[in-house]
Amino acid sequence: MIVAVALLMIVWVGLGIEGNELPYVTIRELTTNYEKKPGKRFRLGGNVKEGSILHNEDDLLALSFVLMQEGNQLPVSYHKIVPDMFKDGSEVVVEGIYDGEYFHADNLMTKCASRYEGDLRDTETSL
Amino acid sequence: MPVYGASLLSISLGLAVLTIFLLVFFLRRDDDRFFFVAQRTSLSVCFLVTLATVTLLASLVKGDFDVDYVARYTSLGTPTLYKFTAIWAGQSGSLLFWLFILCCYSAVVLLQNRNRHEKLMPYVIMTLAVVQTFFLLLVNFVANPFSPVEANFPVHDGLGLNPLLQNPTMAIHPPMLYLGYVGFSVPFAFAIAALFTRQLDAVWVRSIRRWTLFTWLALGLGILLGGWWAYNELGWGGYWAWDPVENASFMPWLTGTAFIHSIIIQEKKNMLKVWNMILIFVTFVLCIFGTFLTRSGIVSSVHSFTASSLGPMFLTFVFLILVVSIYLLLTRLDDLKTERRLESFISRESGFLFNNVIFVSICFAVLWGTMFPIVSEAVTGTQITVGAPFFNQITIPIGLILLFLAGIGPLLAWRRTSKESLIRNFSIPVLTGLGTVVVVMGFGVRAVYPLVTVFLTAFVTATVVLEFWRGVTVRTRKFGENPFIALLKMISKNRSRYGGYIVHMGIVFMFVGFIGKAFDKDKEWSMLVGDEVHIAGYDIVLTDLNEEERPNHFAWIATLDVVKEGKDVVSLHPEKRIYFHRNPNPDRRQPHSELSLYSTWREDVYSVFGGIDQDKELLTIKIMVNRLVRFVWLGSYLLLFGTVISLWPSRGFVKGA
């Protein structure tokens, strides 16, 4: 019985993963590979380029900025309230869709307040 | 001062290792003197670690800024309470704190059992000493909280604690979690002891029942407090995001809950002995793993942080635990196997077994989803995350099965339930469930998951109420007691059982709160004073914008008048604050949105002040209407209340049992 449940769980979880994948990529990987699956959502990490945050004149919610990572840059547009910690230089994670020119983010997160030692510049995490 | 702290930690490490050696000698030579001394060295370790912790606290409160940790996490302006709580704000301090709690627990276990369990205790103390040694190695060599600050100028003030963390809930949430994480070391130590001594019947299980319940409660409360804080402080409107660090705390809670249920079976029926061993090993490993996941940065998370050599050391420790535990388990397998078999699928035993299987399955799903990015990176080179949609999709159906089991558990008899008894016991709950569904559908609800959940919550509520009802009527008939007295006496005579039912009701209410999530609404606008917006039947006008200078921050305060169907409901005042606004360095000024919410049983109206363009006096405002959230908090209170009842000592109480 336990074996049956185990197999069932593996299948169930596998199906879940299939439909909900969100690759965490670098800017270079995104810009070179995105044509393969247009409309696919990606997740990227990086820092906000100093001076790149721009608001739309009349709609404070519409903003754009430039994401920097490993020397590469990516223009990002976002249309929601930004987290408190979001400003020049902050470390952010964005999720959304790339259209070849702009990255349309539907989710924007900044790192949590509490910190443990270590420099967080390096987004390619490893043990 | 810090010199004393560092020395205390070094001495403690030596004593902990000595304790282990003394116990090994005792077990080989059977000379009581070794055990006598070992108990005292173990207690000394606890005492010295406590002193070291107090030393760090003193440095934090005094503002010894030549200690690196003090300079990073406090400042002259930090309120005193948060100078204390800074002890767990950073890596090395929190590791010391973990160790401190472990030592407190170890001392209590040692003293509580000084005249009992003679065969088990040496192994229990030794196991705890090994865990202490690991953490002592970390705080001595890898992350020493007493390290001096690295600066070639005198440091007169510190960086201070982030204002987001200066909140009373943040003063309780981490220690509560630690009380839970660390606490599972005790049942684990007893399990190891039981395996070593081959005392594998119900003795070890009975001795750790209270500990397990307490530590499970602490972990659960820690998780719920985190959710409460996120909802009330962070402003994204949710209480759970399936973030890897959240999952890291949830997994041991899941297996811990399974364990609480299955040890009942071992105590009552002497079954599931192998399973219980595996469960407690997994739970403890998950606690260590959870501690590691939070600090190592191997998974992309908004909570995660990178670390030095901590990662490999934790992994080595986990590997060691697994090797030793599995070895012991395999060599004692024969002693653990039971002759008793499951007699029927419709019995309470099988209900408990299904319950366990489900908990472990959810844990597996969460583990897989959390670790998938690492696995995928190892295999394909890209870290593929799976977010909240995955976890919700997978766990909700399984969670509902669990809810169903909570309902039928009390209805099943031990060993075998007869068909007649099934039909008799099921009818009222099923009818209640269906009736409630019909009523809810009358309100226009058609979505499948909410309706199924409604059925199940009503079903389980009915079974629990019936259980209480039956118990009370038996007493009133037999003893002629007044029903209220009967209720109290009944609960008092079987605290475990009725406390458990109350906890189940807590879970039921939380599920009611979860149903609400399917109907949440939210929207954001760019607004000027005088603008009106609409959401979920509410009309909201931005009537005012004020500014206020306060002691440690500057605030813009928006006034939102909320009206429903022509009637005034409430005035909300979300704020946008800037902490350290006077700091000449603009990078050190911290913006913070202080949300304002109005809560009723039906829904919360939740407002957030996003941002402001001062020249234009243009604000961004987000309003969320979160349905039934209050039920989640109600459920949490019941969870606490029910567990306290289960833990409450009864007359004729044998200390520690």
ipTM attached to this prediction? 0.78
What is the torsional sign of CA B314, B315, B320, B321?
positive
The yes-or-no verdict on residue B542 having pLDDT over 50 is yes
Q: Which of residues 102-121 of A touch B (CB under 8 A)?
A: 109-120
What is the predicted pLDDT for the residue at B298?
54
> What are the helix (H) ranges across B184-239?
185-197, 202-229
Q: With beta carbons less than 8 A apart as the criterion, state whether B615 and B606 touch.
A: no
Do the domain assignments include residue B68?
yes
Q: What tokens were used for B410?
A: 């009390």
Beta carbons of B361 and A9 less than 8 Å apart: yes
Say yes or no: B236 and B313 in one domain: yes
Q: Indicate the residue of A19, A81, A120 with minimum beta-carbon distance to B608.
A: A81
Q: Which amino acid is at B559?
A: T
Contacts of B526 in chain A (CB under 8 A): 58-61
Which residues does B58 contact at the CB level (< 8 Å), separation at least 6? Answer: B1
Do the domain assignments include residue A122?
no
Say yes or no: B472 and B526 in one domain: no
Q: Which amino acid is at B74?
A: T
Angle CA(B39)–CA(B42)–CA(B46) in degrees, nearest 5?
135
What is the predicted pLDDT for the residue at A112?
56
Q: How far is A30 from chain B (nearest CA, A)?
A: 11
What is the predicted pLDDT for the residue at B521?
93
What is the predicted pLDDT for the residue at A116?
38
Range of the structural domain that residue B640 is part of: 418-517+633-647
Question: Residue B301: closest CA among chain A residues belongs to which residue?
Answer: A111
Q: How far is B390 from chain A (nearest CA, A)?
A: 6
- A9 touches B: beta carbon within 8 Å: yes
Q: How far is A106 from chain B (nearest CA, A)?
A: 13
Beta carbons of B592 and A84 less than 8 Å apart: yes
- B620 touches A: beta carbon within 8 Å: yes
Torsions phi, psi of B518, nearest 5?
-70, -15
Beta carbons of A84 and B590 less than 8 Å apart: yes
- B554 touches A: beta carbon within 8 Å: no
**Listed residues B134, B164, B194: the one ending a domain:** B164
- A3 touches B: beta carbon within 8 Å: no
Is pLDDT larger for residue B445 or for residue B652?
A: B445
**What is the H or E stretch that residue B20 is in?**
helix B2-29
Range of the structural domain that residue A54 is part of: 22-110
Q: What tokens were used for B439?
A: 């009523």
- B363 touches A: beta carbon within 8 Å: no
Torsions phi, psi of B603, nearest 5?
-165, 160
Neighbouring-strand partners of residue B384 = A23
Q: Which of B601, B577, B579, B597 is nearest to B588 (CA)?
A: B579
Q: What tokens were used for B31?
A: 């000379």
Is pLDDT larger for residue A1 or for residue A96?
A: A96
* Range of lowest pLDDT (A31-45, A67-81, B17-31, B513-527): A31-45
Neighbouring-strand partners of residue B523 = B623
What is the predicted pLDDT for the residue at A120?
27
Do the domain assignments include residue B128?
yes
The yes-or-no verdict on residue A43 having pLDDT over 50 is yes
Q: Which of A34, A47, A56, A84 to mutate to test the interface with B (most CBs of B within 10 A)?
A: A84
Q: With beta carbons less than 8 A apart as the criterion, state whether B531 and B541 touch.
A: yes
**Listed residues B132, B164, B196: the one ending a domain:** B164
What is d(CA B588, CA B594) in angstroms, rounded to the nearest whole number?
A: 19
Do the domain assignments include residue A16?
no
What is d(CA B652, CA B616) in angstroms, rounded to the nearest whole number?
A: 73
Q: Which of B223, B217, B258 is nearest to B241 (CA)?
A: B223
**A50: CATH:** 2.40.50.140
Q: How far is B373 from chain A (nearest CA, A)?
A: 8
* Range of lowest pLDDT (A27-36, B195-204, B515-524, B568-577): A27-36
Provide the CB-side half-sphere exposure for B49 (13 A, CA): 33
Say yes or no: B272 and B347 in one domain: yes
Number of domains in chain A: 1
Q: How far is A2 from chain B (nearest CA, A)?
A: 8
Number of domains in chain B: 4
Q: How far is B433 from chain A (nearest CA, A)?
A: 27
Beta carbons of A84 and B143 less than 8 Å apart: no
> What are the helix (H) ranges across B409-547?
419-442, 448-479, 483-493, 495-517
What is the predicted pLDDT for the residue at B100?
96
Tens digits of residue pLDDT in B353-375: 889 999 999 999 999 998 888 88
The yes-or-no verdict on residue B268 having pLDDT over 80 is yes
Is pLDDT larger for residue B293 or for residue B484?
A: B484
Beta carbons of A29 and B593 less than 8 Å apart: no
Do the domain assignments include residue B394?
no
Provide the CB-side half-sphere exposure for B234 (13 A, CA): 20
What is the residue whose two structure tokens read 């593929």? B384
Q: Which of residues 498-527 of B touch A (CB under 8 A)?
A: 524-526
The yes-or-no verdict on residue B616 having pLDDT over 70 is yes
Say yes or no: B172 and B79 in one domain: no
Do the domain assignments include residue B652?
no
Say yes or no: B434 and B327 in one domain: no
Q: What is the mean pLDDT of residues B574-600?
A: 85
Say yes or no: B279 and B210 in one domain: yes
What is the predicted pLDDT for the residue at B655?
46
What is d(CA B353, CA B330) in angstroms, rounded to the nearest whole number?
A: 22
What is the predicted pLDDT for the residue at A123?
22
Contacts of A19 in chain B (CB under 8 A): 389-390, 393
Say yes or no: B56 and B106 in one domain: yes
Question: Residue A46: closest CA among chain B residues belongs to which residue?
Answer: B300
Please tell me the pTM assigned to this model: 0.90
DSSP at B347: S
Strands A42-48 and A21-25 turn out to be: parallel
What is the residue whose two structure tokens read 């009390």? B410
- B600 touches A: beta carbon within 8 Å: no
Say yes or no: B453 and B584 in one domain: no
Q: What tokens were used for B296?
A: 């190592």
Do the domain assignments include residue A93?
yes
* Range of lowest pLDDT (A36-40, A92-96, B330-334): A36-40
What is d(CA B64, CA B161) in angstroms, rounded to the nearest whole number?
A: 15
Beta carbons of A125 and B306 less than 8 Å apart: yes
Say yes or no: B154 and B100 in one domain: yes
Say yes or no: B50 and B182 in one domain: no
Beta carbons of B386 and A110 less than 8 Å apart: no
Do the domain assignments include residue A58?
yes
- A36 touches B: beta carbon within 8 Å: no
Q: What is the mean pLDDT of residues B25-40?
A: 90
Cα B497–chain centre separation? 22
Beta carbons of A24 and B312 less than 8 Å apart: no
- A37 touches B: beta carbon within 8 Å: no
**Listed residues B130, B164, B198: the one ending a domain:** B164
Q: How far is A67 from chain B (nearest CA, A)?
A: 17
Q: Which of B533, B490, B500 is nearest to B619 (CA)?
A: B533
Q: Indicate the residue of A12, A23, A112 with minimum beta-carbon distance to B384.
A: A23
Tens digits of residue pLDDT in B125-177: 999 999 999 999 999 998 899 988 877 777 777 777 777 677 888 889 989 99
Listed ranges B132-141, B197-206, B415-424; the one with the highest mean pLDDT:
B132-141
The yes-or-no verdict on residue B305 having pLDDT over 50 is no
Do the domain assignments include residue B653?
no
Beta carbons of B525 and A61 less than 8 Å apart: yes
Is pLDDT larger for residue B136 or for residue B206?
A: B136
Q: What is the mean pLDDT of residues B3-15?
A: 91
Q: What is the mean pLDDT of chain B?
A: 88
**Number of neighbouring beta carbons within 10 Å of residue B567:** 6
- B574 touches A: beta carbon within 8 Å: no
Contacts of A111 in chain B (CB under 8 A): 302
The yes-or-no verdict on residue B64 having pLDDT over 60 is yes
User: What separation in angstroms does the CA of A73 have from each of A48, A109, B554?
Assistant: 10, 18, 34
Tens digits of residue pLDDT in B387-409: 888 999 999 999 999 999 998 88
**What is the H or E stretch that residue B389 is in?**
helix B388-408
Say yes or no: B241 and B331 in one domain: yes
- B389 touches A: beta carbon within 8 Å: yes
Which residues does B604 contact at the CB level (< 8 Å), separation at least 6? Answer: B597, B598, B624, B625, B626, B629, B630
What is d(CA B366, CA B492) in angstroms, rounded to the nearest whole number?
A: 37
What is the predicted pLDDT for the residue at A124?
22
Q: Indicate the residue of B369, B592, B620 with minimum beta-carbon distance to A61.
A: B620
The yes-or-no verdict on residue B237 having pLDDT over 80 is yes
